[in-house]
Structure 1
């Protein structure tokens, strides 16, 4: 594909007659190759693809989206009349690429918004991510995913540190939590 595709998963909306997990195909933002990842109070998972030629793992925009989602959900939960409450540690963002699949989760600890970026500042952040981190991970477009994972985690630690963020490598036999101190990963029970 030459564009992203995505899905939103949610719980049934109370009083709607819905049952089971709600699965919705996401549309692309008009005039772009990016998915419009709208989030609602019943959303618990967002999944999207990255096509070849862009990031083989999460982008800075994905991290910002996930952080904004956690902050928004925490604010939603703080309003007594808002229901249902959103379990922060159940929210996930997944990316599927031809090089591997990854999932972001949040451990439910301290909620802290990332800094507000100006458009220029965010463009600079993306350029640094690409030039100073990801360019080290491939030869002629062939990515060494162990290096990608390490550089991604280094970038997050240095430039977009989000307390409680967890990265998982999604494999056919299960999910493996990976970190800078454990790049092999620990299989989730």
Structure 2
């Protein structure tokens, strides 16, 4: 790979082992002597650059799917990385009097890469390009969206306590004994919430939801045998929706889940800047890797009690400075509390919302 600079005097070649970049071979051509000098590096930034370029699409393939689902889906397969990199190379060469055979230039290369993610619904097959919808940018930001500091209960109440949302959450609660995930998106159309229903496939532990028109609320169910709280799929997809610019009102957005374990929760974005950084981390290496990270770091699993999963999930969000807050509801979805870690293991503090 050459960068079209220095009279094509620099080449960098990734070394691949077991579908992973393990190191990078670099070649420098001395234009005066026309000799090429090779060096070997395990620089993490260089490795990360090639890892993103070569394997990003393959990593984003769903863990269980053998083919990508249809367009207009929030499936993991449709969050596409956009990577931009800059490379700076410092070369300390040889003097004219030095023998070319015994003199090797000293080369220092720094590569800085930034990866953001966009929803790949808008696909242009003329040049294999992906574009965000009109009015959005590649880093997932939207104009005129402020990071208002509000009480979490106030953030949740606009949509989470609406009669439409609560009624649909109750409907989903009645379906948790099913063998498939079900859910709704809700969009605010002239101060009226309009719902769209989605249903997963039997036995799948995730749900393909279309957010291409923008959403204000996403609610869904976890059937028997699934987690009693938010799953890695839930976190990955809310991160992708935010970075793709598909959350219409981030300050009041609600992600809801009801489970067969008798629990119901809302997840809200309490700090936009912190969540933006957290979303970058979640999306960085694709779902397969994040799924393993979540399992190992959060310690949330099906064998835990509801309280253990609550505590571990809250701990995970806090340790990762996620900018997210968790709201817990009663069985009728009428009473909600912000929950947080207590002082002791598996102790949960509840601050009831008015």
The TM-score range, normalised by the shorter chain, is 0.7 to 0.9
**TM-score scaled by length of structure 1:** 0.73
Paired residue for 2:352? Answer: 187
Q: Structure 1 residue 134 and structure 2 residue 300: aligned?
A: yes
Q: Within 5 Å, which residues of 2 pair with 1:7-156?
A: 7-12=184-189, 20-28=192-200, 32-73=204-245, 86-99=248-261, 100-110=263-273, 111-112=276-277, 113-115=279-281, 116-128=284-296, 133-135=299-301, 138=303, 143-156=304-317
Contact 1:29 1:36 in 2 (8 A): no
- Cα offset, 1:66, TM superposition: 1.6
**TM superposition outliers: structure 1 runs of 4+ over 6 Å:** none
CA deviation profile, 1:129-159 (whole Å, cap 9, x unmatched):
6xx7235x84xxxx5322221011122334x
- Structure 1 unaligned runs (5+)? 78-85
**TM-score scaled by length of structure 2:** 0.41
Contact 1:2 1:33 in 2 (8 A): no
The structure with higher relative contact order (CA 8 Å, sep 6+) is 1
Tell me the secondary structure at the aligned position of residue 6 of structure 1. strand
Distance in 2 (alpha carbons) for counterparts of 1:71 and 1:170: 28
- Cα offset, 1:184, TM superposition: 2.6
CA separation of 1:166 and 1:126: change in aligned 2, threshold 3 A: closer
Distance in 2 (alpha carbons) for counterparts of 1:23 and 1:41: 12
Q: CA RMSD in A?
A: 2.9
CA separation of 1:146 and 1:126: change in aligned 2, threshold 3 A: same
Distance in 2 (alpha carbons) for counterparts of 1:3 and 1:31: 6
Tell me the secondary structure at the aligned position of residue 300 of structure 2. helix
- Cα offset, 1:125, TM superposition: 2.1
How many residues align structurally?
165
Contact 2:341 2:349 in 1 (8 A): no
Greater Cα radius of gyration, structure 1 or 2: 2
